[in-house]
Amino acid sequence: MEPIFEQFVRDLTGGFQVPFWAPMLVSLGLVLAFIALNAMFMIWLERKICGRIQRRMGPMLTGPKAWARFSMWTGGWFQTPCDSVKLLLKEDIIPAQVDRFGFMLAPVLVFMAALAVYVPLPISSTSYAQSAPIVVAVADLDIGLLYVVAITTLTILAILTAGWASNNKYSLLGGMRAGVQILSYEIPMLFALMGPMVLAGSLSLGDLVLVQHAGLFGVPLLGWFLVPSFLGAVVYLICAVAETNRPPFDMPEAEQELVAGFSTEYTAMRFAMFYLAEFSNTFVVCMIFTAVFLGGWTLPGFIPPSSLNLGFFTLPYFDLLAGMAIFFAKAYAVVLLLMWIRWTFPRLRPDHLMTFGWKFLLPLSFVNLLVCIVLAAIQQIYFGGNPG
């Protein structure tokens, strides 16, 4: 992202030299703003989807009344900002018998993991004023896929810390359930992601997208790894729901049994940090699914120009903007799918949840990896290496 930011500033200021720390600081600010605004939008959207599935209208009273008259989808826009202000103003209560250090550290760890995981996620590419296309990400790491899997496991430590430090049996049970569930579904998820990694021959998320755009066996329509690695895509999506503790895999927060699970003792902004991280992680897994299985910011046969001449004005970075629009359209489509799953299927029993992960998803992920290895060998032998 640094070359794009530096070129953009030079174009605006006529040659100003950007300090070395500026791109990272701007990236951090953009990611923080996106996490907050996107979480508020997703909470509003989930309430609307929930209402539509249950034949209700969802939030309608907060926000401009004129908008609410048009449709159920235009009401209640300010509900989530109002809830955010409420959480900011509520008293931050720390129970007397908790482990204060662990209790205060857990929500910080959860939020740090939710923030750090955005680093290698690519959202577009651009060739404007560049000698070659540049992937737009905070940092296009060569081990991006491995980095994402490693960072997401930090959530286990944070949730276990929250459950143990709360000195509450319900919180401890919720934390232990979350740890076991995440560990159990992390393994088939990793093997599901190994299939596309073998097909692309790279751990970089940017490379995975570029390889999909080139096509498999010389056929662009086979480029999206959703086609050759369909089993892996299904396994990943199921594991992603379990990883984010969303229904029907929300055993760590089963309110009929555990009140609110590991977050029972948390109030105000500490509780909000858990809630914010949950929706942020939900969108992250959808972004990963988009990059790994849906071709990221690309469409078969479509290559946008680096700039668009509108007659009276030339729009720079058009390929970047078009790629971002495509990428986020795909990601929000996956978000809608996860919301539909949440409000459709009943919660699983703990033993069924473990059995499903170890006895069904893990063998399916092995089968998917074997298929991808065979396809990669065919590509290597008969078509001259990886698609990219």
Check if the beta carbon of residue 294 is closer than 8 Å to that of residue 226: yes
- The percent of residues in the chain predicted with pLDDT above 70, rounded, is 87
Closest CA to 139 of 127, 121, 112: 121
Is residue 386 pLDDT above 70, yes or no? no
Number of helices and strands (H, E) in the chain?
15, 4
Cα–Cα dist 288/377, whole Å: 25
Is residue 268 pLDDT above 70, yes or no? yes
Cα–Cα dist 210/336, whole Å: 25
Top mean pLDDT of 159-168, 244-253, 277-286 is at 277-286
Check if the beta carbon of residue 164 is closer than 8 Å to that of residue 99: yes
What pLDDT score was predicted for residue 193?
93
Check if the beta carbon of residue 266 is closer than 8 Å to that of residue 272: no
Helical (H) or strand (E) element with 308: strand 308-309
pTM score: 0.90
Is residue 362 pLDDT above 90, yes or no? yes
Contacts of 193 (CB under 8 A, 6+ apart): 145, 149, 232, 236, 292
Res. 68 pLDDT band, cuts 50 70 90: low
Instruction: Determine the average pLDDT of the residues in 302-312.
Output: 77
What pLDDT score was predicted for residue 293?
93
Is residue 1 pLDDT above 70, yes or no? no
| Joined tokens for residue 166 | 């709360």
Mean pLDDT value across the chain:
83
Cis before 387? omega within 30: no
